[in-house]
Chain A
Amino acid sequence: MTPLKERLVQLEVLRYNPDTDTEAHFQHYEVVCQEEWVVLDALNKVKADIDPTLNYRWSCHMAVCGSCGMMINGEPKLSCHAFLRDYQGVIRVEPLAHFPVERDLVTAPDDFMDKLKRVKPYVIPKEMKPISEGEYRQTPAQLMKFRQYSMCINCMLCYAACPQYGLTPSFIGPAALTLAHRYNQDSRDGGRKERQEVVATHEGVWECTFVGACSEVCPAHVDPASALQQMKITSSIDWIVEHLIPGGKP
């Protein structure tokens, strides 16, 4: 078997200790890694061999859990999905942009979690029926209508990529609004009207200016930009029906 190729990797990692620091600073590490590794492996090696005080989140190491999002050379990435072979020279690792930094590479996701709750990301049945009547059935075509948007892993890379969220933190943001769209599109759901109170507002879809960065960075190939533009169209139709058609109700 061919031995794995080794490489000396240089990392510049943003450090912040909330107990002692008022500003963040970069710390330089040099660590021998295997060429096939990802940035998360390099951080694990640093933590194991060089600096056990380095803090970051991770769990699954296979781009499913969404825990290890970081800015890698300025780009929001899952560090378990950022292959060292794709980077030359010093690799700069920072916490996800637009979120408060708790410590080193650990950010506070509280704002995203609050917004996620506000869009009611769950099926609100059109009609409740007793269990004896069986499940709420759905055709494959009805499933395909929202399936893509159900792939979100809540990694928040789209928030780190979205300049509108960075500039206007009250913006509900790409992932939460996309999940609202996912449930609005679900044939079993009847909760769109409730969600519109959050979606069709200045803090909702109308804060989006269609930069499109959210879709470009999404590791799960969800297309938040598409979901938000579709919701702008349906919200506009609601407005026209309500204001321009006598007796019209969206």
Chain B
Amino acid sequence: MSRNPLVRAVPPTSWFFRQPRYLRYMSREITSIFIGAYCVLLVVGLQRLSAGQTAWEGFLLALRSPASIVFQFLCLVAAVYHAATWFNATQKAMPLQIGENFVPGNVISGAHYVVWILLSLVVLYFAGVF
């Protein structure tokens, strides 16, 4: 019998519509765009700060525009989602074995959330919120 196998190609631009889990994966990856964009915003802010007081105040004014607030809100949502997906993944990347048993995964992920909250409180403290 001769072999004549059929290769069923994966559609390179639409494969992620095949399964909800692929869409979840892509949504996680797409949040990186918002985080990257926010990093660019921070770099622009630093550049404006180095350009003098007038430039810095102009930058702060631009941050308060409605479009900027919408952008920052979207970045915050994306960053929270991005962080949560990775914190949930830590239990897979860093399993912890004590003796014959493994520490439950939700303890490992939970510890990351606790540290996240504590560090956020420290940042808010230095930002003068409290």
Contacts and interface: CB of A to CB of B under 8 A. Distances in A.
Interface stretch (B15-23, B33-41, B59-67, B110-118): B15-23
B15 A163 contact: yes
Contacts of B50: none
B10 A163 contact: yes
Nearest to A110: B5
A52 B128 CA distance: 77
A212 B100 CA distance: 26
Contacts of B93: 226, 229-230, 232-233
A113 interface: no
Contact of A101 (B5, B16, B95, B102): B5
Interface string A188-228: 00000000000000000000011111011000000101100
Contacts of A108: 3, 5
A74 B19 contact: yes
A76 B93 CA distance: 24
B8 A97 contact: yes
Instruction: Decide if the interface of chain A is mainly helix, strand, loop or mixed.
Output: mixed
Contacts of A229: 89, 92-93
Contacts of B127: none
B71 interface: no
How many residues of A sit at the interface, in one of the four size bands? 35 or more
Contact of A230 (B7, B95, B101): B95
Contact of B15 (A75, A167, A210, A215): A167
Contacts of A216: 21
Most B Cβ at <10 Å: residue of A141, A163, A167, A229: A163
A146 to B, nearest CB: 11
A232 B22 CA distance: 21
Interface of B: 2-8, 10, 12, 15-16, 18-19, 21-22, 25, 29, 89, 92-95, 97, 99-102
Given A163-B15, A167-B12, A213-B22, 18 more contacts: A16-B6, A24-B8, A74-B19, A97-B10, A100-B6, A100-B7, A101-B6, A102-B5, A141-B97, A163-B25, A167-B10, A210-B89, A211-B21, A212-B92, A213-B25, A216-B21, A223-B92, A225-B92
